[in-house]
């Protein structure tokens, strides 16, 4: 076989390998985008990766022994491009499993422009995720802060008393609830665009 024919065959083989590699990368990228919503749904349903659950109402503390309190601590963070000041109004509370508790996070927009934010959340330890239930939360919808505005945003939650019966989770005495606020890409914002979760303006 002549050298030109050998080089031609080698070139064709290289192109086939390159096309296969591009196809694999494209498939993996598409799979990642497609699986992200499914992964998020899976976490919310199962409590996997410390994702809290969502419930309509607290079950009550019937059957919980006196003194079986759980300490819930609150953490806050913002993405690098989010200029808001964001922190919990109280750092921790002691709760009775099964009883609804209401706390607030405070957010301030120190800029001269309206900013839309969305919050992600999780709890640690991860094994407490299936037993940490939210009834209402600012994280369920986008939040809009006007220039210079400060608001107290509510979180209503309970710790499922079933956690006390789970051999893998009943040793949990402290749970940390964390939020991270991300800035939504720039859009036109007006007063009517404010999030649906109630918030208290801070004077």
Per residue in 121-173, pLDDT tens? 999 999 999 999 999 999 999 999 999 999 999 999 999 999 999 999 999 99
Structure confidence by residue, pLDDT tens digits, 53-78: 788 889 998 888 888 999 999 999 99
pLDDT tens-digit readout, 150-164: 999 999 999 999 999
Q: Are strands 92-95 and 70-78 parallel, antiparallel or unpaired?
A: antiparallel
Distances in whole angstroms, Cα of residue 30 to Cα of each of 19, 22, 40:
16, 12, 16
What is the Cα–Cα distance from 92 to 75, expressed in whole angstroms? 9
Distances in Å between the Cα of 189 and the Cα atoms of 3, 114, 196 are 66, 6, 14
pLDDT of 1 higher than 90: no
Q: What is the DSSP letter of 185?
A: P
Residue 128 contacts residue 175 (beta carbons within 8 Å): yes
Q: How many CA atoms lie within 13 A of 121 on its CB side?
A: 25
Pick the more confident residue, 105 or 43.
105
Q: Could you tell me which residues are beta bridge partners of residue 177? A: 74, 123
Residue with tokens 């002549």: 2
């Amino acid at each position: 076989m002549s050298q030109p024919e050998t080089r031609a065959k080698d070139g064709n083989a290289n192109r086939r390998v390159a096309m296969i590699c591009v196809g694999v990368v494209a498939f993996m990228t598409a799979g990642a985008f497609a699986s992200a919503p499914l992964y998020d749904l899976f976490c919310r349903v199962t409590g996997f990766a410390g994702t809290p659950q969502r419930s309509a109402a607290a079950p009550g503390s019937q059957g919980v022994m006196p003194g079986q309190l759980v300490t819930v601590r609150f953490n806050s963070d913002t993405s690098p491009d989010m200029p808001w000041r964001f922190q919990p109004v109280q750092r921790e509370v002691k709760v009775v499993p099964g009883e609804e508790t209401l706390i607030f996070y405070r957010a301030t927009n120190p800029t001269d422009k309206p900013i839309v934010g969305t919050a992600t959340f999780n709890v640690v330890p991860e094994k407490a995720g299936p037993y940490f239930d939210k009834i209402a939360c600012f994280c369920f919808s986008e939040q809009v802060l006007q220039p210079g505005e400060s608001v107290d945003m509510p979180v209503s939650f309970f710790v499922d008393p079933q956690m006390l019966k789970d051999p893998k989770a009943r040793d949990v005495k402290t749970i940390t609830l964390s939020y991270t606020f991300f800035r939504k890409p720039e859009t036109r914002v007006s007063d009517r665009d404010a999030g649906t979760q109630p918030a208290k303006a801070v004077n």
